[in-house]
Amino acid sequence: MERLEYEFDGGAPVAPRNRPTLTGVLGSGNLEVLVEPADLGGRVRVEVQTAAVGFGAIWQAVLSDVFARWQVGDIRVSINDAGATPAVVALRLDQALSDHTGGGA
Partner 1 sequence: MKEWNRLGQNRAARMDRAASLARGKLVAPGDTGALLARVIEPGDRVCIEGNNQKQADFLAKALAALDPADVRDLHIVQSVLALPSHLDVFEKGVASKLDFSFSGPQAARLARLLSSGQLRIGAIHTYLELFGRYFTDLTPRVSLVCAAAADRNGNLYTGGNTEDTPVIVEATAFRRGIVIAQVNEIVDTVPRVDIPGDWVDFVVQSPKPHYIEPLFTRDPAQISEIQVLMAMMAIKGIYAEYGVKRLNHGIGFDTAAIELLLPTYAESLGMRGRIATHWALNPHPALIPAIEAGFVESVHSFGSELGMEGYIRARPDVFFTGPDGSMRSNRALSQTAGLYACDMFIGSTLQIDLAGNSSTATLGRIAGFGGAPNMGSDARGRRHGTEPWLRAGREAGQDGFRGRKLVVQMVETFREHMAPAFVDRLDAWELAEQANLDLPPVMIYGDDVTHILTEEGIANLLLCRTPEEREQAIRGVAGYTPVGLARDKRAVENLRDRGVIRRPADIGIDPKLATRDLLAAKSMKDLVRASGGLYDPPAKFRSW
Binding site for partner 1 (CB under 8 A): 29, 52, 55, 58, 61-62, 83, 85-88, 91, 94-95, 98, 104
Query: How many angstroms separate the first and last alpha carbons of the chain?
Result: 31
| CA gap 68, 76 in Å, rounded | 16
Query: Smallest distance, Å, CB 41 to partner 1?
Result: 29
Q: Which is nearer to partner 1, 27 or 42 (CB)?
A: 27
Q: Which is nearer to partner 1, 24 or 73 (CB)?
A: 24
With vertex at residue 58, the alpha carbon angle to CA 52 and CA 60, rounded to the nearest 5 degrees, is 110
Closest alpha carbon to 93 in 54, 65, 56: 65
Q: Which is nearer to partner 1, 38 or 70 (CB)?
A: 70
